[in-house]
Each structure stands twice: as C-alpha cells, then as structure tokens.
C-alpha cells in the first residue's frame, strides 16, 4: 500500500469514527447534572410499618451481628400481597475520581427504592455474611461465607413472605456492582436458591465477564454452570457507559436467555441513577411491570 493509500485509509477511518461518535466515560455527563426526585429512607431501629425502612435480624441469627434492611411500601397493609425487590449491595471501601462511593452496606442500597418509588413493592436489602472475630456479621466486601449468605437469604425471604405479605411468585433479585454479580453468583448458586426468583435486575458488572475477581469459582466454566440455572426468566442488564462486554459474553455462552440490555449514559459507578427521573429508570420500571404483569 502506497503512502497515498495509507493517508486515504486514515482519513476514511477518522471520517467513519466521526460518523459514529462514542463518548468515553470521562466525557459522559455526571449524575449530579440530574436532580434527584427520590431519596431512600434511612434505616431505623423501629417496628415495621408502612413507609419505614427498618433494621432487622432474621430468627436464627439473633445472637449475631448479621442484619438486613426491610422497607414496607407506603401502601402496605396487613393481609395484602406485595411483590418483593430483594437487593444486594456493591463492595465497600469503593471511591472513584468522580466522587462515587460504596460502603457495601444494606442501608446504602438504592435500586429497589428507585424502581418502586416506595409504592407497591416490599424492598428487602440482604447481607453477605462472614464470620469475624468469632461472630457472624455483614461482610462489606465480596461474599463472606457463601453457604451462610444463601441460608440467610432463604430464611429472610421466607419470613418476609409469611409475616408481611410477600408474594412468593413475584420475587425479583436486584444488585449493584458486587450485587450485580451476586444476582447469578448467589442467586443462582444452586437449584435451591435459584428457584426463588421471578426475574433479575443486574446493574454494573455481570457474573462470568471478568474472571480475575479474587474469589473462588469466578471462572467462566463455573459462571456458565450458574447461568444455566436461569432458564427462561428475564434479566434487565445495565451498566454505566456501555453494556457491550456483557452482551458479547452472554452471546458467546450460547445461553438463549431473556436478556434486556440498557446502557446508563452517565460516567458514574453508583446506583443513585435510580433515584432520578431519567429514561432508563422509566424503562426499568416498565420492564418490571411487564415481567410481573402489574398495571
């Protein structure tokens, strides 16, 4: 190829790229440019009541430091049935150059409240449980003891359904970052817990896309085994900037799932986009209504 051909090819490539502009995360808008229209209620140590988010510990863990956050919607009343949004948090100790932070706590989660707006859904934020200094407590990073985490999940969801009218046929698992990976890593850990869920909302990261995470069974073979437990249940998969890496991974697995891919057009790695009136939140809410068959 002559120098002229090289020059023409380079000019054509630049023209092609200009025709399809792609913003890097540093060029995307910041979430702070959109005002919040929701604020997740603080977690309080009070009795359960409509419109309150309370700290609870499930029976069997009373003498531990393990706990979860339970929110009953403002329209909650005894005897009524409500779908449940079960949520897992991101890793603690996280901070980036845009000011995004995560403490890895149940009280720091936002997705369930943003999706529901505080109405029509029970919102349950669950812990990952580790044994620290001889005591079971909430793990701020990664999974803690996976079997104990799974056991707490099953017992807590069961208790919420029995005591507060949770609909066992309408339980949706949600998560941000570590919690997004947890949708499959914990939620599809085995056949027992996998059958619990109606659908999933996975925001930022996905089980099997990255295999260098510092925990057991992060490899693609193990992730595929978990993914195959999904069956035909739908997943709403979203991520800041681009969702392409997850889409490509899932296409390569050969698993024909009901996947909805939505990029979140902000540079931020945090779940407070759900607390803002943006088209992607509207899309997630409409997807949720369609999945559950609610008006």
CATH number of this structure's domain 47-292: 3.40.50.1820
**Does 17 score more than 60 pLDDT?**
no
Question: Distances from the Cα of 4 to the Cαs of 8, 11, 13, in angstroms?
Answer: 6, 11, 14
Q: Of all residues in the chain, what percent carry a pLDDT higher than 70?
A: 91
> In the chain, what are the domain boundaries?
47-292
Find out whether 124 and 87 touch, Cβ atoms under 8 Å: yes
User: What is the C-alpha to C-alpha distance for residues 41 and 124, in angstroms, rounded to an integer?
Assistant: 13
pTM attached to this predicted model: 0.90
Question: Distances from the Cα of 184 to the Cαs of 220, 252, 257, in angstroms?
Answer: 12, 17, 13
Find the mean pLDDT for residues 93-118: 97
According to the model, what pLDDT value does residue 22 have?
39
Structure tokens at 294: 């609610």
Q: What is the pLDDT of residues 212-237, one digit of tens each?
A: 999 999 999 999 999 999 999 999 99
User: What is the C-alpha to C-alpha distance for residues 38 and 131, in angstroms, rounded to an integer?
Assistant: 35
Beta strands in the chain (DSSP E): 43-44, 53-56, 68-71, 82-88, 94-95, 101-102, 122-125, 129-132, 135-138, 166-176, 199-203, 234-240, 258-264
**Res. 294 pLDDT band, cuts 50 70 90:** confident
Q: What is the pLDDT of residues 47-58, one digit of tens each?
A: 999 999 999 999
Furthest C-alpha separation in the chain: 79
Q: What is the pLDDT of residues 112-128, one digit of tens each?
A: 999 999 999 999 999 99
According to the model, what pLDDT value does residue 295 have?
66
Residue of higher predicted confidence among 18 and 53: 53
Q: How far is CA 245 from the centre of its chain?
A: 17
Average pLDDT value for the chain: 92
According to the model, what pLDDT value does residue 26 have?
58
């Amino acid at each position: 190829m002559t120098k002229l051909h090289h020059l023409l090819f380079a000019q054509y490539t630049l023209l092609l790229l200009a025709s399809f502009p792609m913003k890097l995360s540093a060029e995307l808008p910041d979430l702070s440019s959109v005002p919040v229209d929701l604020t997740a209620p603080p977690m309080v140590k009070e009795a359960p009541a409509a419109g309150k988010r309370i700290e609870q510990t499930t029976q069997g863990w009373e003498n531990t430091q393990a706990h979860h956050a339970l929110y009953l919607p403002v329209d909650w009343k005894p005897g009524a049935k409500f779908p449940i949004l079960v949520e897992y948090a991101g890793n603690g100790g996280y901070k980036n150059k845009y000011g995004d932070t995560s403490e890895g706590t149940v009280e720091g989660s936002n997705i369930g409240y943003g999706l529901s707006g505080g109405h029509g859904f029970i919102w349950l934020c669950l812990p990952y449980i580790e044994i620290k200094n001889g005591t079971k407590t909430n793990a701020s990073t990664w999974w803690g003891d996976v079997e104990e985490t799974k056991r707490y999940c099953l017992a807590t969801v069961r208790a919420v359904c029995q005591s507060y009218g949770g609909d066992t046929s309408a339980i949706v698992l949600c998560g941000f970052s570590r919690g997004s990976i947890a949708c499959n890593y914990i939620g599809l850990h085995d056949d027992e817990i996998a059958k619990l869920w109606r659908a999933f909302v996975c925001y930022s990261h996905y089980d099997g896309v990255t295999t260098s995470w510092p925990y057991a069974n992060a490899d693609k073979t193990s992730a595929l085994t978990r993914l195959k437990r999904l069956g035909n249940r739908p997943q709403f998969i979203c991520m800041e900037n681009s969702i392409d890496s997850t889409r490509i991974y899932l296409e390569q697995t050969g698993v024909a799932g009901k996947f909805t891919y939505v990029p979140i057009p902000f540079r931020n790695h945090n779940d407070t986009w759900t607390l803002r009136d943006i088209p992607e939140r509207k899309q997630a809410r409409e997807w949720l209504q369609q999945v559950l068959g609610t008006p």
